[in-house]
Amino acid sequence: MTSVSAEIKLEIEKLVKGLNYHCYRYYVLDSPVISDAEYDTQYRHLKDLEEKYQYVLPDSPTQRVGAPPLDKLEKVQHTEPMLSLDNAFSYDEVREFDARVRRFLKSDEEVEYTVEPKYDGLAMELTYRNGILYRASTRGDGNVGEDVTVNIRTVRAVPLKIEDADIPEEIDIRGEVYMEVKEFETLNEEREKEGGPAFANPRNAAAGSVRQLDSSITAKRKLHLACYGIGSVRGMEFKSQWEFIKWLKQARFPVPEIIELVKGSDGVISVIKEIEAKRKDFSFEADGAVIKVNDFGLQKILGIKTREPRWATAYKFPAHQGTTVINEIIASVGRTGTITPVAFLEPVRIGGVTVSRSTLHNWDEIERKDIRIGDTVVVERAGDVIPHVVAVLIEKRTGKENKFDPPDECPVCGSEVERDEGGVAFRCIGLNCPAQVRQRIGHYASRSAMDIDGLGEKNVELLYSRGLVRHFADIYRLKKSDLLALPRFAEKSAQNLIDAIEKSKQTTLARFLYSLGIVHVGEYAAKLLAGNFRDLEELYHVQTERIIEIKQMGEKIAGSVSHFFNDSKNLHTLDTLKSLGMKISNPDFDERGKGPRPFEGLTFVITGTLPKPRNEVEALIEGMGGRASGSVSKKTDYLVAGEDAGSKLRKARDLGIKIISYEELVAMTKGEGRLF
């Protein structure tokens, strides 16, 4: 191990402190003071130093990456119960809450309250010991929750260390983990693309993200935090909620977007009205306002009743729901071929907006709720954005209602429809389906696929709207004169695009397979296919069983590939592309087919300094049939460790992964070593 000098320690500590400050500015204050590029440069420098000297601080931003998957979430006993709140549904009930508080306190004086939005997310407790995040746990049943520490560490708004404030020996900070509405919609689009079920609302999305066994999935989700409560605390005393909130701000914790200190029920109602008026502009879902007695001493006197505190209540906003009739249900084809049932409704006003359409999510949802054409239904605008059917009013049925079954063929192009095995999504597999073709063309032309420079999203949209490009093959029929007749194109830009299109005709099988946008087939899967099939024609009419024979190919990918290459319309398009001059070579198969593949199905990770450049070592591994990965996990077979190996080496030892030197790796490729 390389020794760590005081100077190196100081440099690492300064980098950690600076990067955490910039993270706070970006994710909590939304006011960055450096560019993303500068942050990335400092982050990479810190990571290099940590790996070289194996000196990693517990609050280092590099520790926010996902950890190896868990077998299960462990149970956690809360030091103090996480109580639920009583509800108030009218201003009269708010006044009655205030009256009860004063009666219990035997006081005629106005009571001081804090009022804040009620975030619709997942309740969370963060435990800090001597200023360092020790544990994160869900509310659970209020007494026992689940340990989600490794997942919560990936949420950028969560401080790994308390900064700029007095530090208690131990403190439980409570808050809400939530997902913003726009990010929720983006996540559902991605899940639709992957064939997974859509989340019903942002709260479910946040809860599902936090409770993952694989924290790398949580790390990819954009989660936020709002802190508002305190549990057990040792080594510090707070006299009021307002004092605690001021401390949270000083300690760099995100707090509710609105929080005000007022006196009496009139003051409370005034803030509730303010929150309700601003609700439509919030980036998150808020379903009410939380009212708390400010003085902690008075809170202690008031105590709790069963499972709810007497010193707090939640005012719930009126539900944005309406009752209407489903006039029609259609099957809508999304950009990735996923077919979604959409209800056309008798127009109804909900929350000040006229709603005439509602997503039904998928056919499992239709069956579960027994939704039929002609039904009278309750519709809700979840998060004021996405209308969906909450329930069917069975008692309103007349017997004329009709079920809506999933389609046997695509309603747009007539191609075969398949259901994802083990999933809920029905998907059109037609390569030339108009509902999908624009996005497919963009993917086809992207840098990692056919790399057609100049054929970005805007130009694809322009060419499609003018009827010049309706499917892949049309790209190769474009003439320079076609482009010059369009806005945005001049002599040089038109010629450049024609040249880029011509250049793309010479490609590899791996790139071409990836460019086709076959469901579940990414770059790595495309390379695996190219390494096992001599040419494109060998894939025609391939059966699922043949694909499954390839190590690291699962049933989902195999089924998707087989369906694609057994669709006559897809095969016709591929033949058309070849007739227009497409030349597809396959160096992956040629190079790998010449010699033994002793690393077939094995995954390697490289760490530290090796005698050869890292890319050459990765090429050596892949040439022997193996896979070179960038991160250590339970799926790693070998860690190739060089000098100054860092955190990857420690993780590999913890997981019991086989550790070899570069020399041992080379010996194994020559048959001189052994696969152990």
- Give catalytic residues, as residue numbers: 118
Give yes or no for a contact between 61 and 19, defined as CB atoms under 8 angstroms apart. yes
Q: Within a 10 A sphere around the Cβ of 277, how many other Cβ atoms? A: 9
- Rounded to 10 deg, the angle between the 91-105 and 264-278 helix axes is 140
Strands (E), 420-513: 426-428, 506-508
Token code pair at residue 87: 């509800």
Residue 124 CB-half CA count within 13 A: 30
C-alpha distances (whole Å) from 414 to each of 272, 333, 411, 429, 441 are 53, 12, 6, 10, 20
d(CA 121, CA 207): 7
In angstroms, what is the C-alpha Rg of the chain? 30
Decide the pairing of beta strands 658-660 and 638-641. parallel
Task: Specify the residue for token string 């924290």.
Answer: 215
Q: What is the DSSP string of 567-619?
A: -HHHHHHHHHHHHTT-EEE-HHHHHHHSS--TTTT-EEEEESB-SS-HHHHHH
Taking the alpha carbons of 553, 554, 560, 563 in that order, is the dihedral positive or negative? Answer: positive
Sort strands 426-428 and 386-392 into parallel, antiparallel or unpaired. Answer: unpaired
Q: What is the DSSP string of 505-563?
A: TEEEHHHHHHHTT-TT--HHHHHHHHHH-SSGGGGTT--HHHHHTSTT--HHHHHHHHH
Q: Is 362 exposed, middle or buried (0-12, 13-18, 19+ CB in 10 A)?
A: buried
What's 196's DSSP letter?
A: P
Helices (H) and strands (E) in the chain, counts: 25, 26
The stretches of 34-90 forming alpha helices (DSSP H) are 36-53
How far is the CA of 76 from the CAs of 138, 146, 155, in angstroms? 9, 5, 20
CB neighbour burial string for 251-272, b if at least 16 within 10 angstroms, e if fewer: bbbbbbbebbebebbebbbebb
| Residues 157-190: b if buried by 16+ CB within 10 A, e if exposed | bbbbbbbebebbebbbbbbbbbbbbebbbebbee
Cβ neighbors of 591 (< 8 A, separation 6 or more) are: 623
Q: How far is the C-alpha of 455 from the C-alpha of 105, rounded, in Å?
A: 71
